[in-house]
Structure 1
Amino acid sequence: MISQLRKEEYHPYYGAYIAKAEFPDIVEGLKAGKTEFIDFVSVLPDEKLAFAYAEEKWTLAEVLLHLIDSERIFAYRALRFARKDNTPLAGFDQDVYVPNSNAKHMTKNDIIEDYEAVRNSSIAMYKNFTKEMLQFIGTASDSPMSARALGYILAGHQRHHLEVINEKYL
Structure 2
Amino acid sequence: MKTSQLTSSDYNPYYKAYIEALGEVDLMKTLKKQVENYPQFLGSIPEDKLNYSYAEGKWTVAEVLVHVLDSERVFQYRALRFARKDETPLPGFDQDLYVPASGANHRSIESIIEEYKAIRRSTIALYESFEEGVLKRRGVASNSTMSVGALGFIICGHQKHHRNIIRERYL
In which range does the TM-score fall when normalised by the shorter chain?
over 0.9
- After the TM superposition, which segments of 4 or more aligned residues of structure 1 sit over 2 Å from their partners? 21-24
Match in the other structure for 2:111:
110
| Counterpart Cα distance in 2 of 1:37 and 1:64 | 11
Q: Give the deviation of 1:23 after TM superposition.
A: 5.6
Match in the other structure for 2:169:
168
Match in the other structure for 1:12:
13
| Counterpart Cα distance in 1 of 2:21 and 2:125 | 22
Cα shift readout 1:129-163 (whole Å, capped 9, x = no counterpart): 11221101100000000110000001100110011
Q: Give the deviation of 1:27 after TM superposition.
A: 1.2
| More divergent stretch after superposition (70-79 vs 2-11) | 2-11
Q: Which amino acid aligns with 1:150?
A: L
Match in the other structure for 2:80:
79
| Counterpart Cα distance in 1 of 2:116 and 2:106 | 16
TM-score when normalising by structure 1: 0.97
Cα shift readout 1:53-88 (whole Å, capped 9, x = no counterpart): 001000000000000000000000001111111110
Q: Give the deviation of 1:36 after TM superposition.
A: 2.2
Contact kept, 8 Å, 1:65 with 1:103, in 2: the verdict is yes
SS in 2 for 1:8: helix
Contact kept, 8 Å, 1:84 with 1:133, in 2: the verdict is no
Cα gap change, 1:118/1:22 in structure 2, threshold over 3 Å: closer, same or farther?
farther
Cα shift readout 1:7-38 (whole Å, capped 9, x = no counterpart): 11100100000112246221111111122210
Aligned residue-pair number: 170
| Counterpart Cα distance in 2 of 1:21 and 1:121 | 21
| Counterpart Cα distance in 2 of 1:12 and 1:146 | 13
Match in the other structure for 1:68:
69
SS in 2 for 1:87: coil
**Aligned residues: CA RMSD:** 0.9
Contact kept, 8 Å, 2:4 with 2:24, in 1: the verdict is no
| Counterpart Cα distance in 1 of 2:86 and 2:33 | 29
SS in 2 for 1:55: coil
- Say whether residues 1:28 and 2:55 are aligned partners: no
Q: Could you tell me the percent identity over the aligned residues?
A: 52
- Say whether residues 1:155 and 2:156 are aligned partners: yes
Cα gap change, 1:162/1:12 in structure 2, threshold over 3 Å: closer, same or farther?
same
Q: Which ranges of structure 2 fall in alignment gaps of 5 or more residues?
A: none
Match in the other structure for 2:53:
52
